[in-house]
Amino acid sequence: MREKAKAQAGMLYDANFDEELLKERAAAKELLYEINHLRPSQHSDKDRLYKKLIGKLGERFLIESPFHCDYGYNIEIGDDFYANVNLVILDGAKVKIGNHVFIAPNVGLYTAGHPLNIAKRNAGLEYAYPITIGNNVWIGAGVSVLPNVVIGDNCVIGAGSVVTHSIPPNSLAVGNPCRVIRTLNEEESE
């Protein structure tokens, strides 16, 4: 079984030494270099390159530079998306982002993790589990979202949070580890 197939199946895979994955990451890095070095006024060039990099990209998006990811093709973004500077998406597994999502500066979406076993970790093995972010979500500055997390529709994740578990829809959640503080009322969720 190829390492890429292992990653897609949620198994341990060789992300550090597999030639296919190294080539794919290198291709993404080349596109990212171009994107991150364009002038702010070069919107159409940026949009064209993002459409080449990202697996699925909705209508009306703005991703401020710099932006970083591993592959790009595992990222799906809905309509009306905004990401401020320094968004990092480690997309060894799928990252699905809904419509009307706003992401503040210095946010990381991390599908990858490493085994606790020293020998496996030193061999370059890792796992990747998906991340899903619903519609109408606001993620505050400096948030880290870890593997296998689902953030439900209409959530607000407070600045500096480390999201280690899924967050139900209509929640205000903050902290390290991130926890639900309260359910957003109907007026706040509209």
Indicate which residue of 37, 43, 114, 165 is catalytic.
114
Q: How far apart are CA 92 and CA 70, in angstroms?
A: 7
- How many residues are listed for the chain in this entry? 190
Q: How far apart are CA 13 and CA 21, in angstroms?
A: 10
The answer to whether the CB of 157 falls within 8 A of the CB of 144 is no
Eight-state DSSP code of residue 122: H
- Label the pairing between strands 108-110 and 75-77: unpaired
Active site residue 165: no
DSSP calls for 21-59: HHHHHHHHHHHHHHHHTS-TT-HHHHHHHHHHHSSEE-S
Which positions are catalytic? 114
